[in-house]
Amino acid sequence: MTEPVVQVTGLSKRFATGADAVTVLAELSFALPAGASLALTGRSGSGKSTLLNLLCGLEAPEAGRLQVFGEAFAAGDDGVAGDASARWARLRRRAIGVVFQDANLMPALTLLENVRLRATLAGQPTAPAADWLARLGLAELANRYPDQVSGGQRQRAALAMVFAMNPGLILADEPTGSLDHHTADDVADSLFSLQQHSGCGLILATHDPALAARCQYRLDLGHDRPELAATSALPSAAAPP
């Protein structure tokens, strides 16, 4: 077994809103093998987005430890400031591709320029940006601006961006959430096929059971004590580490 790409131990997150505080995640622990795909499920407000933010350092945990690509972070070393924040920024810049439900593109840049910019930031200035767009069926639209293409096309361009940076891990927050069924399937097909091809890890937040079923693992944050579970998509049905 290879080293897990993400290891989470005793992770807790609370939000203080005025007087009362909401505990979103409590004592969460799991590990994701390299190259594996994981679906975060649970009703709205169960903490899927929060967990994704914690996993790329956009939020800081209350308690617990995180290890991403062997880089260790702990609660209290202040994930948003100081040294930890710089280490997170480096990780996000080169290794972690993040895809949101929408608004993943810079509006003043064409699709192609967006892909180029993201790849350049990731240290891949020579990445074949146009090829990535072509592989996602956007060859014709490469020189359009985001507001000149449809929502599905924008999401596919976002995927092209992420794959062009050659990431080790993709974090996708409801990447098909704003799309119609048909388009959503298209985008999901692209996502999974490219992920398998590149061999990077994928953590995907969704409340769509069909989409979740296409991942190898699943973590239901709606549960009191969420645990990593293999799905039927995992071919060897290996037990989670």
Partner 1 sequence: MTLFAALFSHYRRHPLQLLALALMIVLATTLWTGVHHLTDRARVSLAESERAVAGQQQLVRDDGQPVTVQDFANLRRAGLCVMPWLEVRRPPPAGRVIGVDPFAATCFGDQAPGQAGSDALNGEPFLDIGEAAQLSTNGGEGVLSLLVPQTVDPAQLPPGYQLRGFSLGPATGELGESFLLNLDALGVLVLLITALLVRSVYQLGLVQRRESFALLTRFGVPGGRVWGWLLAEMAALTALCVLPGLWLGRWLAALLGGGFGAALENLFDTPLYAVGAGGVAVPALVMGAVVLAACFADRRLLRYLPAARYVGTWPAALVGLVVGLLLVRFATVLGWLFAGIALVFVAVGVLTPRALAGMAQWRARAGEGLGKWRRRELAVVFRRLALPVVALQFAVAMVLAVQALVSTFENTFEVWLGQRLEAEFYVEVPAFVAVADGVHYLDGLAGLGDWHLVQRGRAQLESAGGTPALPQVDLFAISPVGPLVTGWTLLVAAPDAWSRLAAGEGVMVNEQLARRQGYEPGDTITFRLDGRARTLPVLGVYADYGRPAGEILTAGQVLPAAFQPRFVSFSINPGALAMDDVRQGLAAAWGTEALTARDNQSIQTLASGVFDQTFLLTRAITVLTLVLAGASLLIMGWVFFTTRVWYYRLLSVWGLTRREAANQLRWLAVALTGCVALVALPLGVWLTWVLVARINPLAFGWSLPMAVYPGFWLEMLGWCLLIGVVISLLMGRQLRGLTPAPAMANVAAGGER
Q: Which residues contact 19 (CB under 8 A, 6 or more apart)?
A: none
**Shortest separation between residue 225's beta carbon and partner 1, angstroms:** 27
Does 83 contact partner 1 by CB under 8 A? no
Q: Which residues of 104-128 are buried (b: 16+ CB within 10 A; e: fewer)?
A: bbeeeebbbbbbbbbbeebebeebe
Select from partner 1, Mg ion, ligand ADP, none the partner in contact with residue 46, using the beta carbon and a kind-dependent cut-off of 5 to 8 Å: ligand ADP
Residue whose beta carbon is closest to Mg ion: 49
Instruction: Pick from 21, 121, 139, 210 the residue near partner 1 by CB under 8 A.
Output: 121
Return d(Cα 140, Cα 210) in angstroms, integer: 30
Sign of CA dihedral 78, 84, 90, 91: negative
Q: Which two tokens stand for residue 29?
A: 């622990």
Locate the DSSP E strands across 60-209. Answer: 63-68, 71-74, 96-99, 169-173, 201-205
Contact 90/135 with Cβ under 8 angstroms?
A: no
Say how many residues touch ligand ADP, by CB under 6 A: 12
Q: What Å distances lie between residue 147 and 96, 102, 150, 152, CA to CA?
A: 26, 12, 8, 12
Instruction: Pick from 8, 38, 55, 56 the residue near partner 1 by CB under 8 A.
Output: 56
Stretch binding partner 1 (CB under 8 A), from 88-96, 130-138, 186-194, 210-218: 88-96
CB of 83 or CB of 224, closer to partner 1: 83
Instruction: Pick from 6, 75, 98, 130 the residue near partner 1 by CB under 8 A.
Output: 98
CB of 149 or CB of 219, closer to partner 1: 149
Stretch binding ligand ADP (CB under 6 A), from 41-49, 85-93, 106-114, 185-193: 41-49
Return d(Cα 230, Cα 233) in angstroms, integer: 8
Select from Mg ion, partner 1, ligand ADP, none the partner in contact with residue 102, using the beta carbon and a kind-dependent cut-off of 5 to 8 Å: partner 1
122 — phi, psi (to 5°)? Answer: -80, 5
**Shortest separation between residue 174's beta carbon and Mg ion, angstroms:** 6
Does 22 contact ligand ADP by CB under 6 A? yes
Does 49 contact Mg ion by CB under 5 A? yes
Instruction: Please give the residue ranges that form the binding site for ligand ADP (CB under 6 A).
Output: 15, 17, 22, 24, 42, 44-50
